[in-house]
Amino acid sequence: MKVAVISDIHGNLPALEAVMNDIKKRRVDKIICLGDIVGKGPSSKATIDICKKECDIVIKGNWEDFIYKAYLDINRGETDKVSDRISWYAGSIGAERMEYLGQLPHSTEFYFSGKLARLFHAHPKNFNRYYQNSPIEQRLELFDFGDFSEVKETAGIAIYADIHSAYLQAGQGRYLINVGSVGNPLEATQASYVIIEDSEDNDSNFSVQFLRVTYDIEKAIDLAKEANVPDLDGYISELRTAVYFRRS
């Protein structure tokens, strides 16, 4: 089985289109999206529609989680709980797509090359954020199961996203994989995703391929300017430099 894993599109339509075109050339069996389809960029509606149509599984990211909660607050008239920035994104998505985001699962899991693979946005139990250099105790948590897990077993392969920086770590027969970001990468200005593939010759063999895809950054910036997205200058800076822009 050959599986493409994408994440953190963040409303960047040119980046998502470029990645989907690249995936189609590679003849994968399945596409899994680990969330954060929305926010930051201007094209959340379009990126939701593409992921809903093209991906076999879509996982809820932290942006889907808090934007959906904001949407519920707005519907209850509790607008004082919602920042102008998040209100802008929630309002641009629309009710039908917001309800779709609200029902997305927290994780998915399957057996791959004899190991349990668990895939989630940030953490199997919540949205805690752990990095490549986080304490080993925290990184080991990423192999745990939580209330959202169907299989109550420690994973042999944990695949996540959230930090916008791709990496692979291996130890004690377990593999920790971060797929990076399609629409808001923060270590290179090319869209990032991963393909995992098992072997037909050996039940325990598998490969992990990290891919970088060039896309039209200036087109993405033009779309953001036309929409006048919140924190426009910071968003442009991140796309052009792949360096996180710290917002006040």
Calculate the average pLDDT of the chain.
95
The arithmetic mean of pLDDT across residues 114-138, rounded, is 97
pLDDT at residue 202 greater than cutoff 70: no
Alpha-carbon distance of 121 to 15, in angstroms, equals 19
The tokens for 236 are 């442009």
pLDDT grade, residue 113 (50/70/90)?
very high
40 falls in which pLDDT band (50, 70, 90)?
very high
Identify which of 147, 158, 178 has the alpha carbon closest to the alpha carbon of residue 7: 178
Calculated CA dihedral for residues 100, 165, 224, 41, nearest 10 degrees: 20
Q: Average pLDDT for residues 39-67, to the nearest whole number?
A: 97
Does the pLDDT at position 65 exceed 80? yes
Query: What is the percentage of the chain residues whose pLDDT exceeds 70?
Result: 98
